[in-house]
Amino acid sequence: MNNIGIIGAMDEEVNKLKKIMTNVKIHNLASMEFYEGELNNKNVIVVRSGIGKVNAAICTQILIDKFNVEGLINTGIAGALDAKIDIADMVLSEDALQHDMNATGFGYEYGEIPRMKSSIFVADTDMIEKAHAACIKVNPDINVHIGRILSGDEFVQDKEKKSWLLSQFKGHCVEMEGAAIAHVASLNNVPFLIIRGISDKADGSAQMDYNQFEAKAIENSVRLVLEMLANL
């Protein structure tokens, strides 16, 4: 795997990667800046997608159509759902789904996309294994978890919603883009992995936790991505 797309929703999540890239060319497409260049001897395209599922999906399809990426990494931050996951821990996607998909009025389950074979999008096992090994090496002071990542166009910040997401979907963490990227990648048969640093507990303490731990979570993610690239 040599031509790899790296997506972050916010500038903070990709700026450090952009700064250390070499031989950079910038492409402006759909109001996004795609940084094409080299990182750890790999051809990469690094881009800030913007927040939310639609922005993430558009960005992903452009990476596939215009840059012919062989793999996709989505790096960023998330709120923990599972009690065993601490702030600053890392979560790697085993699979992903969209928690705000609701067609229950037509007889579907919560999170189930009508008329699709599957609404749960499974990450690439080789990418999971390499990211897991990379995280243990470069972030030895934190725990790394492999599990389900939930996405929706909502910043989860109350205990009732957190409890519902955990009981309904058995998610490890929740954010706003990953499952949309996974959806597009799966439809195009492109391997993907979602990497999330935990910045908050997705409950009433979100504001305090988020502001304090966002930078640390991003730093951990950047180290993981760089080490992972060296082994892909």
Q: Would you name the residues annotated as active-site residues?
A: 13, 200
Distance CA 166, CA 113 (A): 19
Strand partners, 73: 6, 193
Is there a contact between 91 and 145 (Cβ–Cβ < 8 Å)? Answer: yes
Residues in the chain: 232
Residue 188 CA to residue 179 CA, distance in Å, equals: 14
Which residues are CB-neighbours of 77 under 8 A, at least 6 positions away? 13, 175, 196, 197, 198, 199, 214, 217, 218, 221
Confirm if 111 and 171 have CB atoms less than 8 A apart: no
Q: Report how far apart, in Å, the C-alpha atoms of 163 and of each of 23, 24, 120, 210 are.
A: 47, 44, 20, 19
φ, ψ for residue 107 (rounded to 5)? 95, 5
Interaxial angle between packed helices 125-138 and 206-229, expressed in degrees from 0 to 180 and rounded to the nearest 10 = 110
Q: Which amino acid is at 133?
A: A
- Rounded to whole angstroms, the Cα distance separating 148 from 122 reads 9
